[in-house]
Structure 1
Amino acid sequence: MAELRYNPLLKDWTMVAASRAKRPHMPKDFCPFCPESGKVPADYDVHLYTNDFPVLSPQPPEPDQVGGGLYKTKEAYGKCEVVLYSPGHHDTIPDLSRPHMKKLVDLWTESFAKLDADPNHEYVMTFENRGEEVGVTMPHPHGQIYAYPFIPLKVRTELDSCREYYADNGRNLFDDMVKEEKRFGERVIAETEHFIAFIPFFTDYPYGVFIVAKDKKTALTEFDELEKEELGMLIQDVVGGMDRIYDRPFPYMMTMHPRPSNNDEQYDEFYRFHIEFYPPLRAKDRLKFNSSSETGGWAAANPTKVEDNAAILRQCTEEYRAEKDVEQHERTAAD
Structure 2
Amino acid sequence: MSSNPAAFRRRNPLTGEWVLVSPHRNNRPWSGATEEPSKVELPAYESNCPLCPGNARANDTSNPNYESTFVFKNDFAALTEHEIEPVDASDLFQEQSAVGEARVICFSPEHNKTLPQLTEQELLSVVNTWQREYSELSEIYNCVQIFENKGEVMGCSQPHPHGQIWAHQHLATEVEKEELSQKAYFDDHSSALLSDYVAAETKDASRTVCENDHWLVVVPFWAKWPFETLLVSKDGIADFIALNQAQKLALASILKELTTRYDNVFNTSFPYSMGWHNAPSTLEDKSHWVLHAHFYPPLLRSATIKKHMVGYEMLGESQRDLTPELAAKILREVSSTHYLEN
TM-score bracket for the superposition, by shorter chain length: 0.7 to 0.9
Distance 1:94 1:317 in 2: 13
Of 291, 303, 312 in structure 1, the residue corresponding to residue 330 of structure 2 is 312
- In structure 2, the partner of 1:295 is 314
Higher helix share: 1
Taking only aligned residues, the RMSD between alpha carbons, in angstroms, comes to 2.0
- Measured against aligned partners, the alpha-carbon deviations of 1:172-205 in whole angstroms (never above 9, x if no partner) come to 2112211221122121111111111111111011
Distance 2:223 2:311 in 1: 18
Structure 1 residues 307-316 or 29-38, which shifts more? 29-38
TM-fit CA distance, 1:96? 0.8
Tell me whether 1:252 sits opposite 2:275 in the alignment.
Answer: no
TM-fit CA distance, 1:168? 1.7
- In structure 2, the partner of 1:273 is 291
Q: Is this contact kept in 2: 1:199–1:310, CA < 8 A?
A: yes
Unaligned runs of 5+ in 1: 1-27, 325-335
Q: Which amino acid aligns with 2:235?
A: D
Q: Is this contact kept in 2: 1:189–1:317, CA < 8 A?
A: no
Of 195, 204, 222 in structure 2, the residue corresponding to residue 184 of structure 1 is 204
TM-fit CA distance, 1:317? 5.2
Q: Is this contact kept in 1: 2:103–2:165, CA < 8 A?
A: yes
Q: Is this contact kept in 2: 1:238–1:317, CA < 8 A?
A: no
SS of 2:156's equivalent in the other structure is coil
Q: Is this contact kept in 2: 1:124–1:148, CA < 8 A?
A: yes
Q: Is this contact kept in 2: 1:125–1:256, CA < 8 A?
A: yes
Of 154, 158, 179 in structure 1, the residue corresponding to residue 178 of structure 2 is 158
Q: Is this contact kept in 2: 1:165–1:172, CA < 8 A?
A: yes
- In structure 1, the partner of 2:213 is 193
Structure 1 residues 94-103 or 172-181, which shifts more? 172-181
Q: Is this contact kept in 2: 1:252–1:277, CA < 8 A?
A: yes
Tell me whether 1:113 sits opposite 2:135 in the alignment.
Answer: yes
Q: Is this contact kept in 2: 1:61–1:75, CA < 8 A?
A: yes
- Measured against aligned partners, the alpha-carbon deviations of 1:256-278 in whole angstroms (never above 9, x if no partner) come to 000001232x112x220001000
- In structure 2, the partner of 1:242 is 262
Structure 1 pair 69–274 and aligned structure 2 pair: CA distance change class (3 A): closer
Distance 1:243 1:148 in 2: 33
Q: Which amino acid aligns with 2:313?
A: E
TM-fit CA distance, 1:208? 0.7
TM-fit CA distance, 1:69? 4.2
Q: Is this contact kept in 2: 1:31–1:37, CA < 8 A?
A: yes
Q: Identity over aligned residues, as a percent?
A: 27
Distance 2:306 2:180 in 1: 32
Tell me whether 1:34 sits opposite 2:56 in the alignment.
Answer: no
Q: Is this contact kept in 2: 1:242–1:317, CA < 8 A?
A: no
TM-fit CA distance, 1:53? 0.7
- In structure 1, the partner of 2:126 is 104
Q: Which amino acid aligns with 2:77?
A: P
Tell me whether 1:43 sits opposite 2:105 in the alignment.
Answer: no
- In structure 2, the partner of 1:7 is none
Q: Larger relative contact order (C-alpha < 8 A, sep ≥ 6)?
A: 2
Q: Is this contact kept in 2: 1:78–1:146, CA < 8 A?
A: yes
Distance 2:168 2:210 in 1: 32
SS of 1:139's equivalent in the other structure is coil
TM-score normalised according to structure 2 size? 0.80
Distance 1:42 1:271 in 2: 39
Q: How many residues align?
A: 288
Alignment of 1:69-88 (within 5 A): 69-70=89-90, 71-88=93-110
- In structure 1, the partner of 2:39 is none
TM-fit CA distance, 1:162? 1.4
- In structure 1, the partner of 2:192 is 172
Q: Is this contact kept in 2: 1:50–1:80, CA < 8 A?
A: yes
Structure 1 pair 37–29 and aligned structure 2 pair: CA distance change class (3 A): closer
Structure 1 pair 319–307 and aligned structure 2 pair: CA distance change class (3 A): farther
Q: Which amino acid aligns with 2:208?
A: V
Structure 1 pair 271–69 and aligned structure 2 pair: CA distance change class (3 A): closer
TM-fit CA distance, 1:108? 0.7
